């Protein structure tokens, strides 16, 4: 029997009989393993994860009633769930153009202490940079997403009915092309996933920051928002 066949057979046996694995462990590791498993079973996060029902692109939601979701008692959340699931992967927002100035770049450099010459020295950038100008920090472009998507306007909230919208972070970020100083940029938004959770909805958005006159975007980010009801 080859080493690979031996390891495969052993792996299959251990997968079918976890008690055998447990017996092979050092007594100290057995105690640690048992404690870790008990902690996992009692974890509210594990229970939360097991309760999730995800709607992803391509899912068939035809004929599904509100009773199938754990938010049936909240009409506002269920209404938003149905609205978002009906428009997955469609462009739901196109923002206004805004200009990225050197003053904004310099202010961001001061806040983050990132004073690389490619951002803050126009004369040197014009002489040495392949872009022949200063460029915005990638994180500056990323940080403008709330403004570019109008998410900070209290008069026109992107998710009306939610008591609170919490930024949960990012699943993915790319900067396909640098944003040169004085470029005009705008954002488009798609909802690519919506997940009912105990306190509301978890929404994953795909935000594309376009650069006027450039075929490649300045940023593509998958943002995760928690809508609390």
Short-list 40, 58, 59, 60, CA closest to 50: 40
At 67, is the pLDDT very low, low, confident or very high (cuts 50, 70, 90)? very low
- pLDDT score for 199: 82
Distances in Å between the alpha carbon of 217 and those of 25, 61, 96, 174, 178? Answer: 52, 32, 15, 9, 8
Tokens representing 159 are: 């998710």
111 sits in the region (left: phi over 0; alpha: psi -120 to 50; else beta) called alpha
- Reply yes or no on whether the pLDDT at 44 is more than 60: no
Gap between the Cα atoms of 186 and 112, Å rounded: 23
Domain of residue 36 covers: 3-42
Give per-residue burial for 193-202: e unless 16+ CB within 10 Å, then b. Answer: bbbbbebbbb
> Residue 154's pLDDT is what?
86
Answer whether residue 110 shows pLDDT above 50.
yes
pLDDT in tens, 154-203: 899 999 999 999 999 999 999 999 999 999 999 999 999 999 998 899 99
Q: Verify that 85 and 122 share a domain, yes or no.
A: yes
Compute how many other C-beta atoms are within 10 angstroms of the C-beta atom of residue 157. 13
**32 and 67, same domain (yes or no):** no
Asked which of 34-38, 81-85, 92-96 is least confident by mean pLDDT, the reply is 34-38
Domain match, 22 and 134 both: no
Asked whether residue 68 falls in the same domain as residue 167, the answer is yes
The reply to whether 67 and 179 lie within a common domain is: yes
Taking the model in full, what pTM does it have? 0.69
In this structure, the answer to whether residues 21 and 131 fall within a common structural domain is: no
Structural domain contains residue 171: yes
Number of domains in the chain: 2
Rounded (10°) CA dihedral 113, 116, 122, 127:
170
Whole-number pLDDT of residue 26 = 60
Q: Tens digits of per-residue pLDDT, 116-165?
A: 999 999 999 999 999 999 999 999 999 999 999 999 888 999 999 999 99
Residues 75 and 16 in one domain: no
Query: Does 98 score more than 50 pLDDT?
Result: yes
Grade residue 18 by pLDDT with cuts at 50, 70 and 90. Answer: low
Calculate what percentage of the chain has a pLDDT beyond 70.
68
């Amino acid at each position: 029997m080859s080493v690979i066949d031996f390891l495969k057979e052993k792996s299959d046996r251990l997968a079918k009989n976890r008690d055998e694995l447990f017996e092979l462990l050092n007594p100290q590791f057995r105690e640690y393993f048992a404690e870790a498993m008990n902690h996992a079973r009692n974890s509210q996060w594990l229970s939360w994860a097991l309760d999730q029902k995800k709607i992803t692109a391509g899912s068939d939601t035809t004929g599904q009633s509100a009773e199938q979701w754990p938010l049936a008692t909240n009409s506002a959340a269920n209404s938003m769930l149905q609205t978002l699931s009906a428009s997955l992967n469609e462009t739901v927002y196109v923002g206004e153009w805004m200009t990225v100035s050197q003053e904004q770049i310099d202010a961001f450099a001061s806040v983050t202490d990132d004073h690389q010459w490619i951002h803050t020295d126009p004369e040197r950038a014009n002489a040495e940079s392949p872009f022949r100008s200063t460029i915005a920090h990638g994180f500056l472009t990323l940080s403008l997403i709330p403004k570019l998507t109008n998410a900070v306007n209290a008069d026109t909230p992107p998710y009306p009915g939610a008591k609170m919208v919490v930024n949960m972070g990012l699943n993915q970020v790319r900067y396909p092309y640098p944003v040169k100083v004085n470029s005009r940029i705008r954002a488009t938004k798609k909802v690519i996933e919506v997940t009912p959770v105990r306190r509301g909805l978890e929404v994953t958005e795909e935000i594309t920051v376009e650069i006027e006159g450039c075929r490649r975007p300045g940023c593509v980010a998958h943002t995760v928002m928690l809508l609390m009801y």
